[in-house]
Amino acid sequence: MRSSMGTAFRIANRGVAVAAEPVWSVDPRTGKPREQVAVEATAEEVDRAVRGAHAARGALADRAARAAFLRTAADLLDASGEHVVEAADAETALGPVRLTGELARTTAQLRAFADVVEDGWFLDVRIDLPDPGATPPRPDMRRWKIPLGVVAVYAAGNFPLAFSVPGGDTASALAAGCPVVIKAHPDHPATSELCASLLRRAAVKTGLPEDVAVLVHGFDAGVELVRHPLVAAAGFTGSIRGGRALFDAAVTRPVPIPFHGELGSLNPVVVTEAAAAERAEEIGAGLAGSMTLGAGQFCTKPGFVLAPRGEGGDRFLDALTAAVSETEPAVMLDRRMRDAFVAGVAERAALAGVHTPVTPGAGGAHTVSAGVLAVDAAALADGGHHLLLEECFGPVTVVARYSTREEVTAVLGLLPGNLTATLHIAEDAAEDADAAPLLAELTPLAGRVLVNGWPTGVAVAPAQHHGGPYPATTSTSTSVGATAIERWLRPVTYQSTPDHLLPPELRDGNPLGVPRR
Amino acid sequence: MRSSMGTAFRIANRGVAVAAEPVWSVDPRTGKPREQVAVEATAEEVDRAVRGAHAARGALADRAARAAFLRTAADLLDASGEHVVEAADAETALGPVRLTGELARTTAQLRAFADVVEDGWFLDVRIDLPDPGATPPRPDMRRWKIPLGVVAVYAAGNFPLAFSVPGGDTASALAAGCPVVIKAHPDHPATSELCASLLRRAAVKTGLPEDVAVLVHGFDAGVELVRHPLVAAAGFTGSIRGGRALFDAAVTRPVPIPFHGELGSLNPVVVTEAAAAERAEEIGAGLAGSMTLGAGQFCTKPGFVLAPRGEGGDRFLDALTAAVSETEPAVMLDRRMRDAFVAGVAERAALAGVHTPVTPGAGGAHTVSAGVLAVDAAALADGGHHLLLEECFGPVTVVARYSTREEVTAVLGLLPGNLTATLHIAEDAAEDADAAPLLAELTPLAGRVLVNGWPTGVAVAPAQHHGGPYPATTSTSTSVGATAIERWLRPVTYQSTPDHLLPPELRDGNPLGVPRR
């Protein structure tokens, strides 16, 4: 059975089979297919991919090899940078400037995780020497963390590099010692194939089996993957609907597995009276820049703003309106997203009491126009405007005008979990009486709280946290920063184990010099 | 609606209502009811309990108050130690010696978590100072961990103190700053009420609202609890069936919550040829002690043993048989468990090829007799003996005799996840060629791997890990030791936030002196 399907797959790759579903690379600027890149993986092929990755896990046990592999992958991506950026731009229309920056971020991430692997803090080594005099006597116990096993990575569409095949989930899982099977995002299959081939070449160059990173295509393949008994954990970045379906599959398995999904975020912003009075124009222009950046396709796009009624708030809205009106129509990542945006903003604009200072919607045949919706904050609490509190992927934001602090509190109480929450207060924070209570109200809503800044742009740094209450993420972990590695590990304690049988990291004398507690 | 149900509850408490389900304390030594302790909570009462706990969460924000509360709770439990032990013994038959030890462990845990709260490492503070020269410029970011909110604690039956109302889940959740609603175990409701009243008194004594810890009774109340929108996480210790049902409820909520459940564990033991040749009698007697301890009702009871065929293995089995035969009949925690044990061992003993060196089963009218089942390791791989690889709660173990290392590997490949795995090797480990490969095979199966010891007895220590692959636990965390607190926290990063608006733990100059990275 397996071999006949394998034959069908190989034939399909030559374009003569009937059963295999083709995977096309499409130009979002024209909607035209560019080339057939691959075929969707069958259940048998997913099984083979997972088994291949699982068989390769032993080779990843050597931390030095892992670190070398991650650095080599970064080097190969940099060396092929022009091709990678060209492929990604052709499929995503994100532009060479943004993509060149994203590639730099991606290779920096890979190298940062190589450092994490080497420094060894993530192993969380804790050693309790025996205490025979304690009641009860305490045995020798040595704990560290070990990799969970094969990780399924579901690539994001909006970051074809940094959150896709060579992105953060892949880098952190490999750093943890977990082989990855990556489900390619359908919006950039050619970029995915190119990056996967570089990852696999890096593996071979560092003496690892190339199956430490395997790529599969296809929606059904993604579902098969999360259900596979040898898959031990999953990382996902995408929509609430798709992410929740995979989360449900992960947790209803006979043996449930951790599913670290980033599903969606409204990223609320609150502008205080004092902030609006002080710098309405600056905040309006800043918001316009943040919400239209990358055609509003960032997971941290500020999609909902509480701004005061009155003169300061009016100036803010005027500045926002002016800046957004000047935005050029933009190409979204794919036709489906563009159509969903056009339909989504129309549905929202049609709600009672919703105004459109700048009407968002279709631009040209393949583009969208950014826009701003406005509504009374008081109207949101009545229940008929729930849609305004759901993420709308693309260049639109909702401005809810409030008259009182009570209205702000009531609306914040309706919000789902978020990656970020942003507060704009007076420059002299001590002069803004709303600052402290609003910061306290925003903290339970998000994983990152910003003051007088914009949430787009997620620094890769030790104190970063990219995650938040559901649906922002399905776990309490982060997908950005060094601690992202913790998602793919579990502790094991060795009790009363002879020294030479212990992993070197746990032995007396600490021969590898790993940090310990 | 709420108030009328509340009235019904109050009436029920005076013994005159018809609707409320009574909760009885039962003496397992006689099977006779001792007293009606409470009534089962209705959905409305669960709602009120959760809302009360939720309203109390702000009071737990002060770490000094939390630490004082945990220490006061420990002091009050110690001061009422005699009553607590008496109540627990009357309901569980675990005996005053064991229960006195368990109380000491429980209060030590509470005090240890007070230390954890004060030392501040659990806050995992990470500070990145701004770097305007970086590309892109890096903002000021300060991360720490905050409590998730109300935690539902499902008390265990087999540890009426240390894993019940004042146990590890409660202590770690309160230490994290999370109020708890505790679902009492039906086997010791009077002990639960007594301990809950002491926790609440401790809260009041330290100036906290008593609703930081609320107790509810009843199976349905437990299901309501995990579904309540204001419950943010759950901790559970119990059976696979009950735990999986609650896990399923937790993860299928509109907003899924973390469910840290410890569901069951076989705790395999492998005895090498060399170990059996060297100390067959010592290992046999040690196993008998470990598997019959507390009537075999420890979650770490060694329930499955791979022992060699041949002379050494025969001597091991003889020693085990002799020691188990001398064990007195024991009272189990409740009638249902006793009946399940009697039925479970009978079903296993009836399987083809299963021998009973010591026949387990009913003892007197209210007791059970410990026993040993034996089978060919080769027979296990054929699929008809799956039941032997499932935990049987109570004083029984299964000895599978192997002829070759390949048989050991094949059987280990059939095992589910475990809390512990134990390896008995030659005292001079360097002389035992099986030691290293078997240790490598056992590590993926368990959260704690022991050499030449017994898994019962779980030291409370920093390097402890009490958890393991599913079904041992439903997450990668531990329920014993300081890191148990991590289950109830999530990270939050503050970006570019004025110093005086930050929590003191994150401010410049570190006024509270918390550890930082």
Verify whether the Cβ–Cβ distance A462 to B430 is below 8 Å: no
Same domain, B242 and B328: no
Same domain, B497 and B430: no
CA pair distance B316, B318, nearest whole angstrom: 5
Give a yes or no: residue A513 inside a domain.
no
Q: pLDDT class for A160, splitting at 50, 70, 90?
A: very high
Q: Least CA distance to B121: which residue of chain A?
A: A517
CA pair distance B188, B333, nearest whole angstrom: 9
How many Cα atoms are found within 13 Å in the side-chain-facing hemisphere of A45? 24
Point out the residue among B247, B256, B450 whose CB comes nearest to the CB of A496: B450
- DSSP structure class, residue A131: B
The rounded Cα B419 to chain-centroid distance in angstroms is 10
- Which residues in chain A are contacts of B471 at CB distance < 8 A? 255
Give a yes or no: residue B17 inside a domain.
no
Query: CA of B175: how far to CAs of A422, A443, B71, B171, B516, in Å?
Result: 29, 20, 11, 6, 19
Same domain, A194 and A259: yes
Same domain, B106 and B233: yes
- Which residues in chain B are contacts of A417 at CB distance < 8 A? 255
The rounded Cα B471 to chain-centroid distance in angstroms is 12
Q: Least CA distance to A484: which residue of chain B?
A: B491
Give a yes or no: residue B397 inside a domain.
yes
Residue A412 has pLDDT above 70, yes or no: yes
How many Cα atoms are found within 13 Å in the side-chain-facing hemisphere of B173? 34
Same domain, A250 and A387: no
For residue A305, the surrounding DSSP H or E stretch is strand A304-308
Shortest Cα–Cα distance, B152 to chain A (Å): 17
Determine the 3-state secondary structure of B145 from DSSP: strand
- Peptide bond between residue A136 and the one before it cis (omega within 30 degrees of 0): yes
Q: Output the six-digit token pair for B94.
A: 């675990």
**CATH assignment of the domain containing B101:** 3.40.605.10
Give the burial class of B503: count Cβ atoms within 10 A of its Cβ; 0-12 exposed, 13-18 middle, 19 or more buried.
buried
- DSSP structure class, residue B159: -
Task: Please report the number of interchain residue pairs, chain A to chain B, with beta-carbon separation below 8 angstroms.
Answer: 186
Any idea which residues of A carry the catalytic annotation? Answer: 262, 299
Domain of residue A238 covers 2-263+475-506
Q: Output the six-digit token pair for A314.
A: 């009016």
Same domain, A348 and A308: yes
Q: Least CA distance to A453: which residue of chain B?
A: B496
Give a yes or no: residue A500 inside a domain.
yes
Give the burial class of B340: count Cβ atoms within 10 A of its Cβ; 0-12 exposed, 13-18 middle, 19 or more buried.
middle
Show pLDDT as tens, one digit a residue, over chain B (517 residues).
233 333 333 334 444 444 689 999 999 999 999 999 999 999 999 999 999 999 999 999 999 999 999 999 999 999 999 999 999 999 999 999 999 999 999 999 999 999 999 999 999 999 999 988 887 788 999 999 999 999 999 999 999 999 999 999 999 999 999 999 999 999 999 999 999 999 999 999 999 999 999 999 999 999 999 999 999 999 999 999 999 999 999 999 999 999 999 999 999 999 999 999 999 999 999 999 999 999 999 999 999 999 999 999 999 999 999 999 999 999 999 999 999 999 999 999 999 999 999 999 998 889 999 999 999 999 997 777 999 999 999 999 999 999 999 999 999 999 999 999 999 999 999 999 999 999 999 999 999 999 999 999 888 788 889 999 999 999 998 888 888 999 999 999 999 999 999 999 999 999 999 999 8
Same domain, A249 and A278: no
**CATH assignment of the domain containing A346:** 3.40.309.10
Same domain, A116 and A48: yes
Give a yes or no: residue A469 inside a domain.
no
Shortest Cα–Cα distance, B454 to chain A (Å): 10
Q: Least CA distance to B470: which residue of chain A?
A: A255
CA pair distance B311, B440, nearest whole angstrom: 26
Which candidate, B92, B82, B70, B80, places its Cα nearest to that of B25? B92
Query: What is the reported pLDDT for A19?
Result: 67
Verify whether the Cβ–Cβ distance B470 to A435 is below 8 Å: no
Same domain, B430 and B480: no
Q: Taking all residues of chain A, what is their mean pLDDT, rounded to a whole number?
A: 94
Point out the residue among A449, A462, A471 whose CB comes nearest to the CB of B495: A449
Give a yes or no: residue A72 inside a domain.
yes
- Which residues in chain A are contacts of B464 at CB distance < 8 A? 128, 141, 143, 493
CA pair distance B69, B484, nearest whole angstrom: 18
Give a yes or no: residue A48 inside a domain.
yes
Any idea which residues of B carry the catalytic annotation? Answer: 262, 299
Q: Output the six-digit token pair for B294.
A: 């507390």
Q: Output the six-digit token pair for A433.
A: 């009486």
Verify whether the Cβ–Cβ distance A500 to B430 is below 8 Å: yes
Residue written as token pair 């064991």:
B98
Verify whether the Cβ–Cβ distance B251 to A256 is below 8 Å: yes
Verify whether the Cβ–Cβ distance B501 to A446 is below 8 Å: no
Shortest Cα–Cα distance, B389 to chain A (Å): 16
CA pair distance A145, A127, nearest whole angstrom: 12
For A311-333, the DSSP string reads HHHHHHHHHHHHHHHTPPPEE-S
Residue A409 has pLDDT above 80, yes or no: yes
Q: Output the six-digit token pair for B475.
A: 């997450």
Q: Least CA distance to B250: which residue of chain A?
A: A251
Contact between A282 and A427 under an 8 Å Cβ cutoff? The reply is no
Verify whether the Cβ–Cβ distance B462 to A517 is below 8 Å: yes
Verify whether the Cβ–Cβ distance A429 to B457 is below 8 Å: no
Same domain, A275 and A416: yes
Query: What is the reported pLDDT for B8?
Result: 37
Shortest Cα–Cα distance, B37 to chain A (Å): 34
Amino acid sitting at position B478: T
Percent of chain A with pLDDT over 90: 90
- Which residues in chain A are contacts of B247 at CB distance < 8 A? 251, 256
CA pair distance A19, B13, nearest whole angstrom: 68
Determine the 3-state secondary structure of A99 from DSSP: helix
Verify whether the Cβ–Cβ distance B463 to A142 is below 8 Å: yes
Query: CA of B89: how far to CAs of A509, B92, B110, B196, B295, in Å?
Result: 46, 5, 21, 17, 14
Residue A32 gets the label, from left (phi > 0), alpha (psi -120 to 50) or beta, of beta
CA pair distance A474, B4, nearest whole angstrom: 38
CA pair distance B495, B238, nearest whole angstrom: 42
Verify whether the Cβ–Cβ distance B461 to A128 is below 8 Å: yes
Shortest Cα–Cα distance, A110 to chain B (Å): 17
Q: Least CA distance to B136: which residue of chain A?
A: A459
Shortest Cα–Cα distance, A356 to chain B (Å): 31
Please give the tally of structural domains in chain B: 2
Verify whether the Cβ–Cβ distance B495 to A450 is below 8 Å: yes
Verify whether the Cβ–Cβ distance A464 to B143 is below 8 Å: yes
For B378-396, the DSSP string reads HHHTTSTTGGGGS---SSE
The predicted model gives A1-17 an average pLDDT of 38
Verify whether the Cβ–Cβ distance B452 to A496 is below 8 Å: yes
Query: What is the reported pLDDT for A5?
Result: 34
The rounded Cα A29 to chain-centroid distance in angstroms is 24
Verify whether the Cβ–Cβ distance B498 to A429 is below 8 Å: yes
Q: What is the largest CA-CA distance in chain A?
A: 79
Q: Output the six-digit token pair for A110.
A: 């890979």
Give a yes or no: residue A115 inside a domain.
yes
Point out the residue among A127, A251, A471 whose CB comes nearest to the CB of B251: A251
- Which residues in chain B are contacts of A498 at CB distance < 8 A? 429-430, 435, 451
Query: What is the reported pLDDT for A190?
Result: 98
Same domain, A194 and A305: no
A233-237, A402-406, B136-140, B382-386: range with lowest mean pLDDT: B382-386
Q: Which residues contact A262 (CB under 8 A, 6 or more apart)?
A: A236, A237, A238, A243, A299, A419, A466, A467, A472, A473, A479
Point out the residue among B258, B447, B493 whose CB comes nearest to the CB of A465: B493
Burial of A209-227, coded b for 16+ CB within 10 Å and e otherwise, reads bbbbbbbbbbeebbebbbb
Which candidate, A198, A202, A192, A201, places its Cα nearest to that of A222? A192
Edge-to-edge strand ranges of the sheet holding B361-362? B330-331, B367-369, B361-362
Same domain, A123 and A205: yes
Shortest Cα–Cα distance, B447 to chain A (Å): 5
The predicted model gives A242-255 an average pLDDT of 97
CA pair distance B502, B485, nearest whole angstrom: 23
Number of other CB atoms surrounding residue A133 within 10 Å: 7
CA pair distance B186, B87, nearest whole angstrom: 14
- Which residues in chain B are contacts of A443 at CB distance < 8 A? 146, 492
**Phi, psi dihedral angles at B162 (to 5 degrees):** -70, -25
Q: Least CA distance to A449: which residue of chain B?
A: B494
CA pair distance A477, A489, nearest whole angstrom: 12
Point out the residue among B247, B474, B500 whose CB comes nearest to the CB of A430: B500
Residue written as token pair 């409470």:
B38
Mutant choice from A103, A141, A390 vs B, greatest count of B C-beta within 10 A: A141
* pTM score over 0.90: yes
CA pair distance A491, B50, nearest whole angstrom: 32
Q: Output the six-digit token pair for A157.
A: 């569409």
